[in-house]
Structure 1
Amino acid sequence: MALPRSSYDPRRVCLNPFPEFTLGKHRRTVGVYLAGALFALANWAFIDAAILSAHAKAPYGSPPTVEAPVHVTFVDWIPGICSLLGYLVINLIDKDRVRGDEGFGDSRAVWRARLFLFIGFALMAGGLAGSVTVLVLKYILNGYAEQFLYYGYANVSQSVALMLSAIVLWISQSTSSEYEYNLTL
């Protein structure tokens, strides 16, 4: 099925354009604050689990000399680091360059920006996959008590919240601001 000639733009990569949301007068500000709240919540959840792990005691009913069976180690930090690097990569990209709107002289610049965006999303997806892997292999399969499963759940929730924060920030920065004027001749 071919697109009608009036809808076809040879510069487009995808058939669907970037979404345009109308969230009111202060849509950009609300999006940026929501993304910041998701970012803070993501990192707070994991740091909470790491601090809780450092002070963890053995499960209830165990002898007092027994130590906690599992702690948050560097393996638990790796998925969060990958997700955070992906978050930074995605938000460092110029949105107009990815769209190809500004008429950049170098046609390879759009391709490089899209490749850079793909690498950022791949880092975030790798962080999410890594956090699920750590949850399953380290916490669930070993049959730890519910209080220790929280460490794995916090790791997964950090990756998901960072991914949502990046998407919300991308969309909110793509919307036009109240104080932005488009002057065309």
Structure 2
Amino acid sequence: MSSHRLFRFPKPAWLNSANTRTAGVYAAGALFSLGFFLLIDVASWSKSPMNPSDPAVHVTFVDWIPGICSALGMLVINSIDKSRLSADSFSYSGNGVAWKARLVLFLGFALLAGGLAGSVVVLVLKYIVAEYVWPTIWMGVGNVVANGLVMLSSAVLWVAQNMEDEYTYNLAL
């Protein structure tokens, strides 16, 4: 047993397969698309002329800001090269690469958390405090669920990208 392992039990072999990594990437894409589908569904339900109960409040740009923050956070987090997070020992592109990468990673997570917190704030201030009934309050709940799905997809994609296969080679110039 390797002395670098944290736990006594070995990692299952299926966690290091290329098929598991591919399934994780597809699952993250499905969660992300489902999240933005919910945002578009809520916005279209808000403005629909076919809506039997025309809501007293409509989706505005304020409702979209948390989704935009979450999408930017996911983009920032998953565009960081994971090897740069501990790159100070063999830095070839300047000093302090690891702390810069960690700072950008923190900002990405802050955007994700801010998007989720912002959607909860919009739900509470715009829909719950004003005491709207259920079909209208779905616009706020859908926004929170959508941002939660974007955050979950970011975590799934992060884990899927960090899986290592012993037969995978990363060639970079």
Q: TM-score range by the shorter chain?
A: 0.7 to 0.9
The total of aligned residue pairs comes to 159
Point out the structure with max Rg over C-alpha. Answer: 1
Residues 1:47 and 2:40 aligned together:
yes
Tell me if structure 2 keeps the 8 A contact 1:32–1:168: yes
Match of 1:97 among 84, 88, 95: 84
Q: Distance in 1 between matches of 2:89 and 2:77?
A: 19
By how many angstroms is 1:24 displaced?
5.9
Look up the match of 1:109.
97
SS class of match (1:23): helix
1:12-161 matches, within 5 Å, as: 22-23=14-15, 25=17, 26-55=19-48, 57=51, 59=53, 68-100=55-87, 103-105=90-92, 106-161=94-149
The percentage of aligned residue pairs carrying the same residue is: 52
Residues 1:177 and 2:165 aligned together:
yes
By how many angstroms is 1:47 displaced?
0.5
- Counterpart AA for 1:150: W
Deviation >4 Å, runs of 4+: none
Deviations 1:55-103 (A, max 9, x none): 16463xxxxxxx5301100110000011111111101100111133882
Q: Distance in 2 between matches of 1:37 and 1:101?
A: 35
Tell me if structure 2 keeps the 8 A contact 1:128–1:160: yes
- Counterpart AA for 2:123: L
Tell me if structure 1 keeps the 8 A contact 2:76–2:104: yes
Q: Distance in 1 between matches of 2:21 and 2:88?
A: 20
Deviations 1:18-61 (A, max 9, x none): xx7753631110110110010111100111000111116463xx
Tell me if structure 2 keeps the 8 A contact 1:46–1:155: yes
TM-score normalised per structure 1: 0.78
Query: Is there any run of 5+ residues in structure 1 with no aligned partner, and where?
Result: 1-5, 8-14, 60-66
Provide the alpha-carbon RMSD of the alignment: 2.4
Q: Distance in 2 between matches of 1:98 and 1:164?
A: 21
Alpha carbons of 1:54 and 1:126: their partners in 2 closer, same or farther (altered >3 Å)?
same
Q: Which has the higher helix share?
A: 2
TM-score normalised per structure 2: 0.83
Query: Is there any run of 5+ residues in structure 2 with no aligned partner, and where?
Result: none
